[in-house]
Structure 1
Amino acid sequence: MNEEAATNLDEMAHDFLMVSETYSGTGPANPYPMLAELREEEPVMDGDILARFGVPSQADYAGSGRPVMTVFRYPDVHAILRDSTNWKSYIMADGFGAAVDNLLLTGMDDEEHKKYRALLAPAFAMPVIARLQETMMRPIIQREYTDKLRPKGSADLVRELALPFPVRVVYALFGFPDDGDGDTVMKFASWALRILSGPQIDPAKLAVTGPAAMDAGQQLFDHVLPIVRARRASGDEREDLISFMQNVELEGQRFTDEEITGFVRMLLLAAAETTSRSFANLLIMLFENPEAMEKVRADRSLINKAITESMRLDPVATNLARIAAQDMEVCGVTVPKGTAVTLSIGAANRDPSTYERPNDFWLERPMRPLLSFGFGPHICMGMHIARMEMAVALDLLLDFPNLRLDPAHPHPVIRGMHMRGADAVHAIWDA
C-alpha cells in the first residue's frame, strides 16, 4: 500500500470511529439486559430510548421536539414495519437527508417510494448479485485483501479487511473505474461516514459535524458526476449499476447524469458502513463460539446461517423509526397521530416469545423473519450484496490456518446503542 492509500485508510478508520462515538452516547456497551427488562415491563415506552442516552435518533434527527415512543416486542416491531399505510418513513431523512438533497429511499413513502424502488430493484435482485459473487466479489476480496493478509500472520481485521473490502466491492458493482491501490474508494467511504456522523445531540458537536456532512455530500457528488458522464460518453455497456441506470426508463424518460449521481451517492451511504460492522461482529461471535467456528469451517454451507444468526443476535442498526399517520394502538397503548416510534430491533431480535434461546449464538436456530435488514416495503434493497460479500470474505478467511484472536491485544468489544460494532478485531494465524 502506497503512502497516500495508507493516509486515506487512516482517515477512513478515524471517520469510522467518529460514527461509533456518535451513536454510542452514554449508553452501556452491552444494552441487551436493559432492553430485555424494558421489553418485559414497558413494551411500549413513552420517550425515545436513544435520546435518553444522548444518541441521535431517526425518530427525531432534526431535534424538532416531536413526541416519540419506543417499541420493544418482536410482534409489534414486525407489524409496524409491514404496515407502510399507517406508519410512514419520511422522518428517516430528517438528519442527513439535506447532505444528499433528501434523495433517500429509506425516507420515501407511498407512490414515490414504490416508483423508485421498482425501478432500482432489478439491479439488486438475487440472481444478478449471485452471478457477480464469483465473477467480481470473490476475485476482488481474494486478490486485494485476503491474499495480501495471509502471509502476515496477524492483523486488525477491522482496519485491514472489514473496513475497506465492502466499499471496494460496491465500488466495482457500481461500475467505477479501477483506481489501483484503492485511494478513491477510501475517500468515498470517508465522505459517506462523515455524512452519517452529521446528526448530533450536542449543539457544539453539531456545529462541527453538520457542515462537515454537507461538505462531504457535495464532495461525493462532485467526484461521482464526472465518472457517470465519462461512462455515458464512452457508450460502454456493462453489467453494473451505472449502466443499468443510464438505460432504464421512468415514465418514458431516462435519468440524467445528475440524477444518477444523486442515486449513487445515496446508495454509497449504506453500501459499506453497515457491512463493515456486521462482518466484524460476525467474526467476534465466531471467535467467542469456537464450536460454531469449527462447524462453519468444516461445512461452508453453514456460512449463511452464521451470518443470519450474528445479525439477529447483535445487529448493527439496532433501531429504526416510523411515524404514525393516524391514531394507532400498539400492544394496548395508544400512539397518537404524528407521534414517532423508535423500533428497537435489538430488543425484538431477542424476544423470547419469538426466539428460543434468544441470547445464544445458535446455528441450528429455526428460521424466523429477520428484522435486521428492516422488513416489509422498506426492507434493505442491498441485503443480498451485503450477505454475499460477507459470505465470500468469511469463506476466504476460514482458510487461514489456526485463525484465532490475538492474546497480545484486548478482547474485542461490540459497542453502541446504535450502529453497533467493534473498534478493532486483532487476530493471528499460522502464516
Structure 2
Amino acid sequence: MTGKYNAMLDQMVRDYSLVTHGYSGAAPANPYPMFEEKRAKCPVMHGDLLQENSIPSMADYMMTGRPVVTLYRYNDIHSVLMNPDDWLSYIVGDGFGAAVDNLLLTAMDGEEHTKYRKTLQKPFMRGQIRKLMETLIRPVVVNEFVEKLRPNGKADLLREFALPFPIRAMYAYFGFPHDEDLLGNLASWAIQVVAAPQTDPEVAKVTIPQSMVAGQSMFETLMPIVQQYRARGEMRNDILGYMMTTEHEGEKFSDEDIANFIRMLLLAAGETTTRSFANMMVQLLEEPDVLEELRQDLSLVPKAVMETMRRDPTAGAVARIAARDMEIGGMTIPKGTAVLCSIASANRDPEVYDDPDRLWLKRPMRPLLSFGFGPHMCLGMHMALTEMEVALEEILDLPGLRFDPAYPQPEIRGLNMRGPDALHVLWDVDGA
C-alpha cells in the first residue's frame, strides 16, 4: 500500500473512532445485562436511555426538554415502526440533518416519503443488488482486498478491509470514477457528518462546524462528477444513470437534485456496513465452534449475517415522535412525546427469541429490526447484506483465521453505532 493510501485509511479510522466514542458515552460496552433488567422492570420507561448514558439523544438531540420514553420490548417497537402515520420520523434529521440541507429520506414522513422512496428504491431492490454479487462486489472484495492481504498472514480487518471495501463497492455502483482520493475524502466527510452529535460541548464545538464543512465539501465534490457523467451521455446501469433517466412526479432530476440525493445516500453507504461486518467477525471469532460450523457449510453464510446483526446490531436505537395521543404497554404516550426504540434490546427479547444471547446460525428468524422495519426500512439493506455475505465467504477462505494474541481482544461498544475499535487477526500462510 502506498503512503497516501495508508494516510487515507488512518484518517478514516480517526473519523470512525470519533463516532464510536461519541455513541459510547458512559454506557457499559456490553449493555445486554442492562437491557435484560430494563425489559423486566420498566419496558416502557420514562426518560431517554441515551441521554442517561451521556450519549447524543436521537429523540431530543437539541436538548429542548421534549418528553422522551424509551421502549425495550420487541413487540412494542415493532408496532411503532409499522405505524408511520401515528409515529413520525422527522426527528431523525435533528442530529446531523443541517449538514445535508435537511434532505434525509429517513426523516421524511407521509406522502413525501412514500413518493421519494418509490422513485429511488428500484436500484436498491434485492433482485437488482443480487445481480451485482458476482459482477461487481466479489471482484472488488477478492481482487482489491482479500488477495492483497492473503500473503501477509495478519491484518487489522477493520482498518484494512471493513472500512474501505463497502465504500469501494458502493461507490462503484453509484457510478463514481475509481479514484482513491475521491473515495477517501467522501468517506471521511460522510463519517464527519455522522459524528456531529456529541454530548461533550467542547468536542461538539469542533464536530458540529466540521460536519457543516464536510456536508458542503461533499456537495461541491459531487456536483462536477454528476455534471461530467451527464455530459458523457452514456447512461450506465448504475445509480447515477438511473437517477438521470427516471422521473419524480413527472419531472427529471436536475444535477443539483442528484448531487443532494447522492450525498444523503453516502451517509449510510459505508460505515454502517463496516460496523456490521466488524461486529459479525468479532462474534464469530469469539465462538470457534460456530465459526467452524460455518466453514463446513457455507450455505449458512446468509444466516450468519442475519443472526449476528440480530445479536449485536450496529444501529442500536431509532427514534419516532407521537403524532397523537398513543398507548404502549398500558402507558399513555401524549402527542409530541418522542419514543426511543432500543433495537438492541428488542433483538434479545426472550418473548420473541429463544435463548436470545446464544449465537445460533440455524435460529428460526423473526422479522429483523436491525435495518428498521416497515415503510422506513433501510433503503440500502440488500446492498449491505450482499456485501457482508460476499465478504464473509472470502474472509473464511483465509485458513486458520483467529484473533491476534499480540493485541487485546476486540470489544464491541456503544449504545448506538456499535462497533470495535480495531480487529487484529492472524491466519495461516502457505509455506509459512
User: Structure 2 length normalisation: TM-score?
Assistant: 0.98
- Find the counterpart in structure 1 of residue 339 from structure 2: 341
Which residue matches 1:295?
293
Listed as ranges, the matches of 1:115-154 within 5 Å are 115-154=115-154
Q: Would you say 1:85 and 2:78 are equivalent positions?
A: no
Matched, 1:193 2:202: no
1:157 and 2:154 are equivalent in the alignment: no
CA shift digits 1:252-275 (9 cap, x unpaired): 210000110011010010111110
Which residue in the other structure is 1:213 paired with? 211
Aligned letter for 1:16?
Answer: Y
The corresponding residue for 1:420 is 418
Separation of aligned partners in 1, 2:119 and 2:364 = 34
Deviation of 1:56 after TM superposition, in Å, equals 0.7
What's the counterpart of residue 40 of structure 1? 40
1 CA distance for matches of 2:53 and 2:402? 34
Q: Write the distance in 2 (CA, Å) between the matches of 1:178 and 1:316.
A: 28
Looking at structure 1, the residues matched to 354 and 281 of structure 2 have their Cα atoms a distance apart, in angstroms, of 23
**How far apart are the structure 2 equivalents of 1:178 and 1:313?**
35
TM-score of the superposed pair, with normalisation by structure 1 = 0.99
Picking from 221, 224, 228, the partner of 2:222 is 224
Alignment gaps of 5+ in structure 1:
none
Give CA deviations for 1:136-190 in whole Å, capped at 9, x if unaligned: 00001111100100000000110100011111111001000111xx222121111
The CA distance in 1 between the partners of 2:106 and 2:327, in whole Å, is 24
Aligned residue identity for 2:123: A
**Correspondence for 2:275 among 272, 277, 290:** 277
Q: Note the alpha carbon deviations across 1:279-331, whole angstroms, 9 max, x for none.
A: 01110111111111111112111001000000000000100000000010000
Q: Equivalent pairs: percent with the same residue?
A: 54
Shift >6 Å, 4+ stretches: none
- 1:202 CA displacement: 2.5
Q: Could you say what secondary structure the match of 1:342 adopts?
A: strand
SS across alignment from 2:55: coil
Could you tell me which amino acid in structure 2 is paired with residue 14 of structure 1?
A: R
1:173 is aligned to 173
2:240 aligned to which of 239, 242, 245: 242
Do structure 1's residue 71 and structure 2's residue 71 form an aligned pair? yes
- Return the offset for 1:203: 2.3
CA deviation after TM superposition for structure 1 residue 204, in Å: 2.2
Cα offset for 1:60? 1.2
The SS at the match of 1:4 is helix
Equivalents in 2 of 1:130, 1:369: separation in Å? 20
Map of 1:261 onto structure 2? 259
Report the alpha carbon displacement of residue 79 of structure 1 after superposing the two structures with TM: 0.4
1:11 and 2:11 are equivalent in the alignment: yes
Question: Once the 2 structures are TM-superposed, how far is the Cα of residue 130 of structure 1 from its aligned partner?
Answer: 0.4
5+ residue gaps, structure 2:
none
Q: 2:403 aligns with which of 405, 421, 428?
A: 405
Match of 1:325 among 319, 323, 341: 323
* Mapped partners of 2:160, 2:57: distance in 1: 30
> Which residues in structure 2 correspond to 1:370-381 (within 5 Å)?
370-381=368-379
Which residue of 2 is the match for residue 99 of structure 1?
99
Residue type of the alignment partner of 2:174: F
3-state DSSP of counterpart to 1:305: helix
SS in 2 for 1:18: helix
Q: Secondary structure at the match of 2:120?
A: helix
Q: 1:68: how far off?
A: 0.6
CA RMSD, Structure 1 to Structure 2 (Å)? 0.8
Distance 1:155 1:5 in 2: 15
Q: Aligned partners of 2:170 and 2:367: how far apart in 1? A: 26
Q: In 2, Cα distance between the equivalents of 1:73 and 1:252?
A: 43
Give the Cα–Cα distance (whole angstroms) in 2 for the partners of residues 108 and 345 of structure 1: 20
Secondary structure in 2 matching 1:421: coil
Question: SS where residue 63 of structure 2 aligns?
Answer: coil
